[in-house]
């Protein structure tokens, strides 16, 4: 699963806008400036079809960059979806440029969006201000009007599980609030995570929430929580794990992966229960900065690497075998050159 991170406003201006969440805000991760009670639920089954490509999935979402009088750029227009087939479409009901907490337009920064790792679901704010999740070839689940506390849409980081069945909404800004965890089929609130906790994403199967929290002596603990928010396990990881972000949590809810990049790249796995490094595999990676890391199989992690050339962002997605260290390129693409920011699918 994916994209946590930096504060969303800052993230909108840098290469990793929602890849972890809250105070540093995996679902989808956003990045790259290239140029409780939930009330009633409503579901609209208007469908979302991608032409003749019945098995097509979303590769990434992008919002256009427009010039500002006097210099600079801003986000403008609707969120666009680029499919793996190359087809492009828009999300006409999605809020493009973010609204402030009072409903007025920010004018510059895009509203939150997230794409599931399987590329079949997308979470966003509707133009009426409702939190929603749309399924390819299916319908739209609109969440209750009071599903989230009042906050500027750019202060919210949305994180979907790999299968899109779970959604975490992280509320940051000057007045952060507890993270809400939802079932995307029903729109029901499953639980909350305290606002002082950094949400890193979901486990590989979406059954746990992966978080971190400051601990004693300037160290950071990794904490696995249930979907209702209760703490399941906690560990203080070794420096090789803590220092190399993002980290990803496997479906077993205890094994953490971290990717050391550079000339001596290696994939490191760590067992939270045994508090020990269980594997260090040298890997040969394509060029690029690590943008996202997700568990996508029992012995497989998927990494998104972002590079920049001639004013464009080039993404390379690789699958890494955690047992052998073998690396296979799954996908390569160039982000639309007129993008202000983009949000890639996760695993």
Structure confidence by residue, pLDDT tens digits, 173-224: 999 999 999 999 999 999 999 999 999 999 999 999 999 999 877 889 999 9
pLDDT on residue 215: 87
Pairing of strands 140-142, 156-160: unpaired
Higher pLDDT among residues 327 and 345, named by residue: 327
Phi first, then psi: give them for residue 10, nearest 5 degrees. Answer: -65, -35
Q: Cα(75)–Cα(68) distance, rounded to whole angstroms?
A: 10
Quickly tell me which residue has 């508090």 as its tokens: 275
How is the chain split into domains, by residue range? Answer: 8-237+339-345
Q: DSSP letters of 71-138?
A: S-EEEEEEEEEEETTS-EEE-TTB--EEEPTTS-EEEEEEPPEEE-TTSSEEEEEBTTS-EEEEETTS
Q: Cα(156)–Cα(88) distance, rounded to whole angstroms?
A: 26
- Is the pLDDT confidence value at 1 over 80? no
Higher pLDDT among residues 59 and 4, named by residue: 59
Per-residue pLDDT of 229-269, as tens digits, reads 999 999 999 999 999 999 999 999 999 999 999 989 999 99
Question: The tokens of 200 are what?
Answer: 């890193």
Mean pLDDT score across all residues of the chain = 86
Check if the beta carbon of residue 227 is closer than 8 Å to that of residue 190: yes
pLDDT on residue 62: 97
**Could you tell me which residues are beta bridge partners of residue 76?**
64
Tell me the torsion sign for CA atoms 39, 45, 51, 57.
Answer: positive
Give the containing element (helix H, strand E) for 239: helix 239-242
DSSP assigned state of 154: G
Q: Cα(203)–Cα(181) distance, rounded to whole angstroms?
A: 13
- Is the pLDDT confidence value at 4 over 70? no
Q: Which residues of 68-101 are buried (b: 16+ CB within 10 A; e: fewer)?
A: eeeeeebbbbbbbbbbbeeeeeebebbbbbbbbe
Strand arrangement of the beta sheet that strand 58-67 belongs to: 28-31, 339-345, 58-67, 73-83, 88-90
Give the containing element (helix H, strand E) for 341: strand 339-345
């Amino acid at each position: 699963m994916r994209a946590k991170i930096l504060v969303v406003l800052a993230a909108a201006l840098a290469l990793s806008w929602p890849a972890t969440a809250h105070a540093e805000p995996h679902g989808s991760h956003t990045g790259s400036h290239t140029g409780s009670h939930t009330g009633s639920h409503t579901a609209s089954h208007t469908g979302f079809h991608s032409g003749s490509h019945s098995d097509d999935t979303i590769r990434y979402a992008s919002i256009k960059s427009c010039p500002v009088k006097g210099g600079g750029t801003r986000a403008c227009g609707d969120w666009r979806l680029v499919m793996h087939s190359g087809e492009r479409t828009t999300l006409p009901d999605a809020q493009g440029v973010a609204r402030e907490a009072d409903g007025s337009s920010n004018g510059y920064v895009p509203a939150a969006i997230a794409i599931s790792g399987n590329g079949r679901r997308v979470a966003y704010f509707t133009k009426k201000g409702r939190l929603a999740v749309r399924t390819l070839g299916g319908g739209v689940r609109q969440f209750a009007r009071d599903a989230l506390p009042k906050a500027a849409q750019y202060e919210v980081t949305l994180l979907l599980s790999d299968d899109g069945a779970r959604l975490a909404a992280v509320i940051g800004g000057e007045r952060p609030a507890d993270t809400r965890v939802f079932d995307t089929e029903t729109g029901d609130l499953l639980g909350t995570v305290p606002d002082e906790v950094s949400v890193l994403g979901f486990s590989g199967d979406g059954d746990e929430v992966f978080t971190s929290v400051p601990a004693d002596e300037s160290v950071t603990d990794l904490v696995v929580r249930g979907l209702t928010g209760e703490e399941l396990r906690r560990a203080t990881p070794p420096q090789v794990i803590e220092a190399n972000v993002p980290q990803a949590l496997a479906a077993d809810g205890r094994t953490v992966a971290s990717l050391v990049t550079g000339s001596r790249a290696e994939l490191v796995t760590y067992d939270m229960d045994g508090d020990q490094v269980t594997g260090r595999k040298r890997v040969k990676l394509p060029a690029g900065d690590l943008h996202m890391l997700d568990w996508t199989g029992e012995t497989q992690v998927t990494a998104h690497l972002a590079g920049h050339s001639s004013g464009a962002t080039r993404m390379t997605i690789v699958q890494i075998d955690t047992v052998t260290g073998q690396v296979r390129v799954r996908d390569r693409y160039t982000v639309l050159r007129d993008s202000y920011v983009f949000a890639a699918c996760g695993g």
